Amino acid sequence: MNARDAILGRIREALRVPAPRSEPAAAPADFTALLPRVGATFAEQVAAFATASRELRTEFHWVEDEVAARAELERLRETAGWRRVAAHRGAQVAPLVEALGLPVLWTDGGYDRRELERCDAGLTQCDALVAQTGSVVVTSASAGGRVLSVLPPHHVVLARREQLVPDLPAAFHLLREKYGANYPSMISFITGPSRTGDIERILVLGAHGPRRLTVLCW
């Protein structure tokens, strides 16, 4: 008997033995019971989002106003060594990006994918920040398409305080109210920077997207 026959023989023998069956655990009536509780006040929701961000390795900065957001972006430009950024012409994004004084690849009117790959960061708006999970909700409408939140190695999200919602049901309600029957072609819940732990359970950031996620909110 050669090695191939031996292996096939072991497989045939194993197939004769029924696999043990176990009853699946009953799903909770309300899936939100599995998620952290979020306080009712705005301050508690900000704190919950900040806590989740730390655990997810999201860099969350709560700033006073747009002037402070601009200063934080300038600090990121210097510390991260940005040489070129990509962005869309959203009302919150465009003025702050232009103030950086860097070459900008605007994605609104078409772009060269190879040029986008050379950008150090992609700056976008969002639809919501979810305090309960630390998620950033973006759509193809709010984030200037699909690629800005995926291709550049550093995704920077600019958000307003009124976009912070307590939990996932509130986020879905916001999307329904905002878009009605005209849902965008892409809706994404970004929960921390891209990561994988498939190989020997070693956490690797940036495996399938940006390895760094920064959220500025004012």
CA–CA gap between residue 143 and residue 16 (Å, rounded): 55
Q: What CATH number has the domain spanning 38-217?
A: 3.40.50.10420
CA–CA gap between residue 77 and residue 95 (Å, rounded): 15
Contact present, 137 and 175 (Cβ < 8 Å): yes
Domain boundaries defined on the chain = 38-217
Contact present, 119 and 84 (Cβ < 8 Å): yes
The pLDDT assigned to 206 comes to 62
The pLDDT assigned to 27 comes to 63
Q: Give the up-direction half-sphere exposure of residue 210: CA atoms within 13 A in the CB hemisphere.
A: 28
pLDDT in tens, 187-199: 999 999 987 766 6
DSSP code per residue over 79-134: HHT-S-EEE---TTTHHHHHTTTS-EEE-TT---HHHHHT-SEEEE--SEEETTTT
The pLDDT assigned to 209 comes to 81
Mean pLDDT score of the chain:
91
Total-model pTM: 0.82
Contact present, 218 and 160 (Cβ < 8 Å): yes
Count CB-CB contacts under 10 A for residue 88: 20
Contact present, 80 and 154 (Cβ < 8 Å): yes
CA–CA gap between residue 14 and residue 130 (Å, rounded): 48
- DSSP alpha helix (H) spans, the chain: 3-15, 42-56, 66-80, 94-98, 113-117, 168-179
DSSP 9: H
CA–CA gap between residue 71 and residue 113 (Å, rounded): 29
CA–CA gap between residue 218 and residue 216 (Å, rounded): 7
pLDDT in tens, 46-104: 999 999 999 999 999 999 999 999 999 999 999 999 999 999 999 999 999 999 999 99
* Size of the chain, expressed as the number of residues it contains: 218
Residues 92-119: what's their mean pLDDT? 95
Q: Give the up-direction half-sphere exposure of residue 169: CA atoms within 13 A in the CB hemisphere.
A: 6
Q: Is residue 19 scored above 80 in pLDDT?
A: no
Collapsing DSSP to helix, strand or coil, 4 comes out as helix
